[in-house]
Amino acid sequence: MKEEFRVRFGAVINEFVIPLLLCLVLLVPFSYRKNAWVLYLIVLFAIVKVLQRSVPLLRSRLIIDENHFRLLYGEHNIALSWEEIEIVSIDKKKKDVILSISTVDDCFTIPINYYESNKIVELIRNYAKSTAFDENAYKKLPCYSEFKTEMESLLNGVIVIKDDKFLSIIGWGTIVFSIAVSIIAYLSDGGITPLFLLLFTLLGLVIVLNIGVTEMTSLSITRKTIWGTNRLNWDEIKLIQISPFGEGIVLNNGKKQLSIPGGLYWEKVNRERNLSIFSELAKKHEIKIEENKFAAYKRTKNCRAK
């Protein structure tokens, strides 16, 4: 029997209706100003970003039957037989329900809280192989032994992780756009709007000046930026906090704290491999890992490298 799931009405409100209403509400206090076009431009950009995220989600479908698991999302068409699926993980965090499915060759992470998650979980447990839910199922994959050998070899040296070029594009793009629009607005009317936009220039500068390199070895993890070098040894770390969407990672032991970009902002080359190595090192040293929505905003302290 085939079951088809579409996005819940509550998810439509949260992901589409409310963001659009907020964008429109922002226009009301400034609509009377002569240079309100500046704000119109910013709000238009925000609306476009909302639509880029929301429309594919609203059109998506998740289909489950006794033979296949299928997800249609934008240009993506994931179709897997239950025999192909080697690992299934369901992670429930507050309102989020994250489904992770792995085959021998691929891994897919799907936030199923947008759909009828309880029913989806029930069907997956009925159709997937019972061994797929084993906590150590990943060790049975052919690639695991290869990964373990590769990791041991890599950790004899230094793993260098550069920040993704996307950060530079966002940082410099924000600076150039804000300065240009500020100048145009000032020449046309002056007043508060240019000062407001200059705050975005400062935000761009913060992003650019904090771009750097993260280095991992079997003994320590190091962050290098224009501000200097900070390091923590793995055996010093008691807790790792990761932001929900992977923007930031914080490693601390109560007295020392090292903040590094999350996997979302690591360069795409070998990103998955480096995330796996990071996870394995945390397990090896029995470090507690928890989600923290403020992790991306916490600062480094007391771990300057000598």
Domain annotation for the chain: domains and CATH numbers:
1-136 (2.30.29.30), 165-208 (no CATH), 212-297 (2.30.29.30)
- DSSP structure class, residue 84: T
pLDDT of 190 strictly over 60: no
Round the average pLDDT of the chain to a whole number and report it: 82
Taking the C-alpha atoms of residue 280 and residue 287, their distance in angstroms, rounded to an integer, is 10
Taking the C-alpha atoms of residue 208 and residue 243, their distance in angstroms, rounded to an integer, is 21
Q: Angle at CA 88, nearest 5°, toward 83 and 92?
A: 155
DSSP β-ladder status, 87-93 and 107-111: unpaired
- Nearest one of 235, 236, 8, 259 to 112, comparing CA atoms: 8
Per the CB < 8 A criterion, the answer to whether 97 and 62 are in contact is no
Rg (CA), the chain: 23
Give the chain's largest Cα–Cα span. 68
Q: Compute CA distances 113 → 14, 51, 94, 123, whole Å.
A: 12, 20, 10, 15
Taking the C-alpha atoms of residue 306 and residue 170, their distance in angstroms, rounded to an integer, is 32
Of residues 30 and 128, which shows the higher confidence score?
128
Instruction: List pLDDT tens digits, range 50-99.
Output: 777 778 888 888 999 999 999 888 777 889 999 888 888 888 776 778 88
Q: How is residue 60 written in tokens?
A: 């998506």
Look at residue 224 in the predicted model and tell me its pLDDT. 94
Reported as a pLDDT band with limits 50, 70 and 90, residue 11 is confident
Look at residue 64 in the predicted model and tell me its pLDDT. 92
Look at residue 35 in the predicted model and tell me its pLDDT. 61
Instruction: List pLDDT tens digits, range 200-233.
Output: 788 888 889 999 999 998 889 999 999 899 999 9
Question: 21-35, 237-251, 273-287: which range is least confident on average?
Answer: 21-35
- DSSP structure class, residue 244: T
pLDDT of 198 strictly over 70: yes
Of residues 256 and 16, which shows the higher confidence score?
256
Reported as a pLDDT band with limits 50, 70 and 90, residue 273 is confident
Reported as a pLDDT band with limits 50, 70 and 90, residue 240 is very high
pTM, 2 dp: 0.58
Taking the C-alpha atoms of residue 248 and residue 238, their distance in angstroms, rounded to an integer, is 17
Of residues 49 and 219, which shows the higher confidence score?
219
Return the residue matching tokens 């249609």: 72
Look at residue 24 in the predicted model and tell me its pLDDT. 72
Look at residue 134 in the predicted model and tell me its pLDDT. 80
Beta strands in the chain (DSSP E): 3-5, 61-64, 68-73, 76-81, 87-93, 96-102, 107-111, 159-162, 213-216, 220-225, 228-233, 239-242, 248-252, 257-261, 288-291
Amino acid type, 270: N
